[in-house]
Amino acid sequence: MTQHDPALLERARRVRLLVLDVDGVLTDGRLHITAHGEETKVFHVRDGSGIVAVQRAGIAVAIISGRDSPAVARRAAELGIRHVRQGIADKRAALDELLHELQVAADALACVGDDTPDVPMLERAVLAVAVADAHATARAAAHWTTPAAGGHGAVREVCDLLLTAHGT
């Protein structure tokens, strides 16, 4: 694993909840729509392994996505992600509701995003992460940018950072 700045590790050590965007974070951001109008998504298996590992380490994982997709619901269920919010226009409001529901403070929150709609979540988090190919607005709001692009193992890199910081 890459050597991380001690200040970044300290932020990661405080995290108890990891909130992920989907398109551009768990996927490469491209939309695949069949001739019949069905949308498909491609997820990276290493991201899934990382998500399972952080959950086993006691860190809750949630999804807040601007789009609504049956593929996301299915993948979340496969990974044991119980907190999934889709079709969300106001991600900050959805995040605040989730923090209240789970009784988690923002100083124990990590968020991963890739574009301008994610910035309000990133600004709220103790650990804000942008994927390598994120829009400049997301990168500017982030404490760290992953080496990998969205959909190409970036979430696994975040999970590895959290696991290292938590000593697991």
Tens-digit pLDDT string for the chain (168 aa): 456 799 999 999 999 999 999 999 999 999 889 899 888 899 999 999 999 999 999 999 999 999 999 999 999 999 999 999 999 999 999 999 999 999 999 999 999 999 999 999 999 999 999 999 999 999 999 999 999 999 999 999 999 999 999 998
- Beta carbons within 8 Å of 91's beta carbon, 6+ residues apart: 21, 64, 66, 117, 118, 120, 121
Strands 32-33 and 17-20: unpaired
Q: Is the domain covering 6-165 a CATH 3.40.50.1000 domain? A: yes
- Tell me the pTM: 0.96
| Alpha carbon distance 98, 26 (integer Å) | 20
Strands 127-130 and 32-33: unpaired
Residue-range domain boundaries for the chain = 6-165
